[in-house]
Amino acid sequence: QVQLVQSGAEVKKPGASVKVSCKASGYRFSGYYINWVRQAPGQGLEWMGWINPNSGDTNFVQKFKGRVTMARDTSINTAYMELSRLRSDDTAVYYCARDKVSGSPFYGMDVWGQGTTVTVSS
Amino acid sequence: DIEMTQSPSSLSASVGDEVTITCRTSQNIRDFLNWYQQKPGKAPELLIYSASSLQSGVPSRFRGSGSGTHFTLTINSLEPEDFVTYYCQQSYSSPRTFGQGTKVEI
């Protein structure tokens, strides 16, 4: 079945970096954008950006520019999100999610990973 | 960026009630509005896309409507499993902003 499986929980110190992976299965990985969404404890959802697995093109929210890197390895159907210079307010659950329609961002995200908890604490 | 205003932030209802959640956007987004349901400790799930299209497998008691800047999610005849949190999200332009969420409580 179509699914996204993310890497496990991480605990990091302030100033460190974290890299979260998202492995896709059950569909053509290169055909669907992968989004990254995060949720701080007790808070709402925050869209961070997307990567086009086919081209490697990325687009992300201005507030993360300079700190976030999104990449993919098509040989193993895996997308990655790396966040650097971590702060305590980066503590959150990070989700990857697939666009519903191949090549189109307009129709929502229909397949989600299980989430990766990232805790930033000294 | 397109700003999302979702209301109410929480509401109380009973099993069998009908409830409506509203989402307003700061710009005309045509019908590029999606609704998600999130259960505690779980990833969100897509309920409605393109303002009014029901995602496969979602019960017909969920209905989305609206276009432009004003959208609604209506749940009729609430079931016990519906007492969770709902989010709207615009997919018209980047960044694909979410509403603040609505928690439906018993």
Interface residue A33 vs chain B (CB under 8 A)? no
Please tell me the total number of residues recorded for chain B in this structure.
106
Interface residue A6 vs chain B (CB under 8 A)? no
pLDDT digits (tens, 9 = 90+) for A67-109: 999 999 999 999 999 999 999 999 999 999 999 988 888 899 9
Nearest CA distance, A107 vs chain B (angstrom): 6
The answer to whether the CB of B19 falls within 8 A of the CB of B104 is yes
Interface residue A68 vs chain B (CB under 8 A)? no
| Cβ within 8 Å, pair B43-A106 | no
Q: How far apart are CA B46 and CA B57, in angstroms?
A: 10
SS3 A62: helix
Q: How far apart are CA A57 and CA A43, in angstroms?
A: 29
Q: Return the pLDDT at A40.
A: 98
What does the pLDDT profile of chain B (106 residues) look like in tens digits?
Answer: 999 999 999 999 999 999 999 999 999 999 999 999 999 999 999 999 999 999 999 999 999 999 999 999 999 999 999 999 999 999 999 999 999 999 999 9
Question: What is the percentage of chain A residues whose pLDDT exceeds 70?
Answer: 100
Q: Return the pLDDT at B6.
A: 98
The answer to whether the CB of A27 falls within 8 A of the CB of A2 is yes
Nearest CA distance, B8 vs chain A (angstrom): 14
